[in-house]
Amino acid sequence: MGDISYSNNSGISNGNSHANAMLVQRKGCWYEEEIEENLRWCFALNSILHTGASQYQDIQLLDTKPFGKALVIDGKLQSAETDEFIYHECLVHPALVHHQNPTNVFIMGGGEGSTARELLRHNTIAKVVMCDIDQEVVDFCKSYLVVNRVAFCDPRLELVINDARAELERREESYDVIIGDLADPIEGGPCYKLYTKTFYELTVKPRLNKGGIFVTQAGPAGVFSHAEVFSCIYNTLRQVFKYVVPYSAHIPSYADIWGWVMASDTPFVLGADDLDLRMKHRIKGENRYLDGKTFTSASTFCKAVRKSLDNETHVYTEGTARFIYGHGHGHNSATKHN
């Protein structure tokens, strides 16, 4: 849950009802996110650009000192100006370059537009459907996130405001790649049902073309935090697809390693050099983070995480859902303290 607090240099900063006073030496306006019950991540703000609530989610846009503009939804930082390229390059490009010839892609979520931006850099792409449930988030990002304005205006992009499950079930067309750029599975949030075995098996997989690839963001993937949801999302996809590849990267503004999982019934056979060649031929401009060697490294985990992934038995269902720490709409708010 994210809180905004103002403090003088007296050494005591007042939090909200979720936290007692903290003995710290700091001055000015700060953003705090409670990552775990006993762990908070905070950074200084230049200003609060917007705070509000849609039908589904609380929304904040902050101008932060270390990470530039930052989008916060339901008290969880979604992306920050200085390092969002890491998240979005990792989410999009591995699946796109592993696919033989991706022409049409469906994005579940992705309201800020960054996933569409990265997809539209690929010269094979003829159509991208971006389906986000929250019109207000999309309109807000169109207005404030200048870096994605070109993507929102691209004629290859079809923007749909709807529940992703309902939209996939309504449509008759199938896709080369389906991308899950959804909010984290948090209790009370709108997205956790879109991480379940039933959804992957009955809704996602039937909408993939032959050779199609599904990829989803899968939450924190650190040496400890991967046990929250990452390992069970990976194991759940193993029940549905023949070939499943988890990978991760450090994202500074998230204060953790982050994870993604890519899945298909077609094997992933390309090495680092092959990936580099496809990126060179297909992608307009240079990636800042991802290349073949980076992906090889990203899909190699430390011993503890590998062992945990191999031994994971939990399958994500609506009745046995796991959540990352935090609560959905109605439980969080941005508050100011003088």
Catalytic residue among 83, 132, 134, 181, which?
181
Reply yes or no on whether 181 is catalytic: yes
3-state SS, the chain, equals CEEEEEECCCCEECCCCCCCCEECCCCEEEEEEEEECCEEEEEEEEEEEEEEECCCCEEEEEEECCCEEEEEECCEEEEECCCHHHHHHHHHHHHHHHCCCCCEEEEEECCCCHHHHHHCCECCCCEEEEEECCHHHHHHHHHHCHHHHHHHHCCCEEEEECCHHHHHHHCCCCEEEEEEECCCCCECCCCHHHHCHHHHHHHHHHHEEEEEEEEEEEEECCCCHHHCCHHHHHHHHHCCCCEEEEEEEEEHHHCEEEEEEEEECCCCCCCHHHHHHHHHHHECCCCCCCCHHHHHHHCCCCHHHHHHHHHCCCCCCCCCCCCCCCECCCCCCCCCCC
Catalytic residue numbers, as ranges: 181
